[in-house]
Structure 1
Amino acid sequence: MSEQVLGKRQFGHKARLVLPTVLSFKIDEQAHAARAMWNLLHAWWLMMPREKRTLANADAAIRQARKDVEFLAVLPAQAAQAVLKTYLQAWKNCWEGRAEAPNFKARFRAVLSVDVPQGRDLNIVRVHRRWGMVNIPKVGRVRFRWTKDLPVGKRADRDNRITGARLIKDDLGWHIAFRIQTLEPVPEPHEGPEVGIDVGIAVPLALSDGKSFRHGAWLTAKEQAKLLRLERRSAVLRQHRKRGEKTSKRLQCVYGQIARLSAKAKRRRQDWQQKTTTTIARAYGTVVVEALQITNMVKSAKGTIDQPGKNVAQKSGLNRSIHAEAWGRMVVMLGYKLTQRGGTLVKVPAPGTSQRCSMCGVTTPGNRESQVVFVCKNPECGWSGNADHNAGRNVLHLYRIGHVAIPAAGRRSRQARKRVQPATAR
């Protein structure tokens, strides 16, 4: 009998924190200090000559900033070092064409977060079937929701442990995302069948074997009515706000209620995506999806003053629907879940998959008469069927003939790489 091969796996787990108001304010202060540290570091980086942009100089700069600026002292020293590490990684991603150049973080648009880079500082203890306690530097012991068995206590060792965490705030409160490292058996190749997936709006996921995955509205009828009432209320309050005037507390309160409802819908959407992608990853060995350029698909149709766009309102509604489905996050979930189970995720070019007949192979723009029905215009074929499942079969056909999309840096990333010259710190 052959020995089982073990491999390291790194993943994250997000849990909800239960914070008293005093401790919540303390973490808010640390998060704003981390954001200010990023902005100061970015300003220093832009002012320094290229030859002085080194890791040692940047480290000395943030140490001096913590001494000179009083409110930065609330941020733990290791969290400040994590800001520096994240900032340098952002430049590295820019140089390698994976992202644009880093920029300043605005107070109201940036996501508040604080990093805890050392797992030993957390001192995690499970105190109840549903609750655990974690130590946050310069804050204290905090209770969190226990929804997954973590490698803590006697279960923790050099290969199975929590290496760190990050505190993240959304519109529903603070959460903690643990970074976990485990030693697990390398999965055997998945023996499941191949399947092609077509993503859409009316039918979120249509599979080539005739199956489909749908979902209802993310908010109940009562919640939707409340959201509509709040949006109308915010529109009335904005009418009384003069240009350049500070937002009133009443309007901020309405904005907060709208944001909480939106965050609740987002959580439900992510829950559906997690369950759906797990079902697909367990059933299929090879999953083929389209390599969609979502950024290009959701571009505005307003146009310019000289050449105004057409059907702008309809295109705006379509863009909102595409954003709401979060196809990119769905593909990411499928990717790591298939890898964990020995499966494979493949991307194929998207053009023509909805206009090609999966029976005869003829591609005609008029084949798809509607969003639901596909009717082949080839006189020798004349096949008709569900348009989404037909597109899923075409996606799988492209993979079988070897027409696989090759990932490449986008034009915007290449332009950013040309615009920003690498510095000595690289």
Structure 2
Amino acid sequence: MPTSLLGWLRYRNSHRVLGTVKNVTVSLSDGKWFVSIQTEREVAQPLPQSTTAVGIDMGIARFATLSDGTFHAPLNSFKQHEMALRCAQQAMSRKMKFSSNWKRAKARVQRIHARIGNARRDYLHKATTAISKNHALVCIEDLQVRNMSRSAAGTTEQPGKQVRAKSGLNKAILDQGWFEFRRQLDYKLAWNGGYLIAVPPRNTSRTCPCCGHVSADSRLTQARFRCVGCGFEENADVVGAINVLRAGHARFACEVSDAVRSPAAGTHRSGSGAAQCRAWVP
């Protein structure tokens, strides 16, 4: 493989290169060299392998709960290696900077970080591949991970409350890889001819899927939901996933009808330009 700066390089061809090569990137990670080849080619419009739709509720106790009742247990890759990483970082801090011992200690820290990232990516790829192949429409919560994991330390004038508990929650949120999960689902569903719909997460775990009553009192515990209006009981994460699916169905119906409706049909639009639609999908 020819490169502009390093000349010809030998590499292990682990994947067949299809199409016209547009860009080649050589990178170094954890002492190993990698090559990324970007190509361009025409592909036929894929057809979904399944016709089912599913809603997904993201969480920490359960990484992803599907509206059909199945769920993916969390991997918690960082939590599994946290103690080893802390010991390695402390050992590196005791070494003289840039000495041979310091470089070896730094390499150990980098290996642990790489192990954490590799395990998380492998877990996410397996989960998203299974979901994208088995469902044509996937509805998820439009979670703002950056805002959810914001520090609660506050300022000197206005110090935060329960900083340690919030720090642990932030660490658990970032350990899940929710954004990467959504990114992988997005392009894998497109490859398979499916669709990904993101809906606002507000009240998805407080709304009864049976009668539509919204109340925080219906959430008995982190895991149990019992509607104060009709008495419906179910796992709280499953309830959230069902409500996400219904909201996704409604939004998908709005987008499809708005796309096929002619401008003369009198589509009402809000000031932001978004089509207004109300729908309840049983």
Check whether TM > 0.5. yes
Match of 2:91 among 221, 233, 250: 233
Match of 1:265 among 116, 120, 133: 116
Query: Alpha-carbon deviations, 1:322-341, whole Å to 9, x = none?
Result: 11212111111111111111
AA matched with 1:383: F
Q: Percent identity?
A: 30
Q: Tell me which residue corresponds to 2:54.
A: 195
Query: Alpha-carbon deviations, 1:93-125, whole Å to 9, x = none?
Result: xxxxxxxxxxxxxxxxxxxxxxxxxxxxxxxxx
2:14 is the alignment partner of 1:147: yes
Aligned-pair CA distance for 1:191: 4.7
Q: Tell me which residue corresponds to 1:387.
A: 236
Instruction: Please give the residue correspondences for 1:66-145 in structure 2 after superposition, counting only pairs within 5 Å.
Output: 134-145=1-12
**SS of the counterpart of 1:270?**
helix
Distance of aligned partners of 1:310 and 1:219 in 2 relative to their CA distance in 1, 3 Å threshold: closer
Q: In 2, Cα distance between the equivalents of 1:404 and 1:261?
A: 46
Distance of aligned partners of 1:324 and 1:197 in 2 relative to their CA distance in 1, 3 Å threshold: same
Match of 1:179 among 27, 34, 38: 38
Q: Structure 2: where are the runs of 5+ without partners?
A: 256-282
Distance of aligned partners of 1:161 and 1:352 in 2 relative to their CA distance in 1, 3 Å threshold: same
Aligned-pair CA distance for 1:170: 2.6
Aligned-pair CA distance for 1:189: 5.2
Aligned-pair CA distance for 1:173: 2.7
Distance of aligned partners of 1:404 and 1:296 in 2 relative to their CA distance in 1, 3 Å threshold: farther
Q: In 2, Cα distance between the equivalents of 1:254 and 1:311?
A: 34
Q: Tell me which residue corresponds to 1:296.
A: 147
Match of 1:321 among 158, 162, 172: 172
Q: In 1, Cα distance between the equivalents of 2:162 and 2:224?
A: 24
8 Å Cα contact 1:346/1:404 also seen in 2 = no
8 Å Cα contact 1:369/1:375 also seen in 2 = yes
AA matched with 1:230: A
C-alpha RMSD of matched pairs (Å): 2.7
Q: Structure 1: where are the runs of 5+ without partners?
A: 1-133, 152-159, 242-246, 407-426
Q: Tell me which residue corresponds to 1:286.
A: 137
Q: In 2, Cα distance between the equivalents of 1:259 and 1:297?
A: 27
Aligned-pair CA distance for 1:217: 4.6
8 Å Cα contact 2:197/2:252 also seen in 1 = no
Q: In 1, Cα distance between the equivalents of 2:142 and 2:79?
A: 33
Query: Alpha-carbon deviations, 1:325-379, whole Å to 9, x = none?
Result: 121111111111111111111111111112222222211122223322222222x
AA matched with 2:246: H
Aligned-pair CA distance for 1:303: 0.9
AA matched with 1:328: F
**SS of the counterpart of 1:402?**
helix
8 Å Cα contact 1:348/1:403 also seen in 2 = no
Please report the TM-score for the alignment, with normalisation by the length of structure 2: 0.80
Please report the TM-score for the alignment, with normalisation by the length of structure 1: 0.55
Q: Tell me which residue corresponds to 1:400.
A: 249
Q: In 1, Cα distance between the equivalents of 2:78 and 2:60?
A: 17
Aligned-pair CA distance for 1:401: 3.1
Query: Alpha-carbon deviations, 1:78-98, whole Å to 9, x = none?
Result: xxxxxxxxxxxxxxxxxxxxx
8 Å Cα contact 1:348/1:404 also seen in 2 = no
**SS of the counterpart of 1:306?**
coil
**SS of the counterpart of 1:374?**
strand
Q: In 2, Cα distance between the equivalents of 1:303 and 1:225?
A: 27
Q: Name which one, 1 or 2, has greater alpha-carbon Rg.
A: 1
**SS of the counterpart of 1:300?**
coil
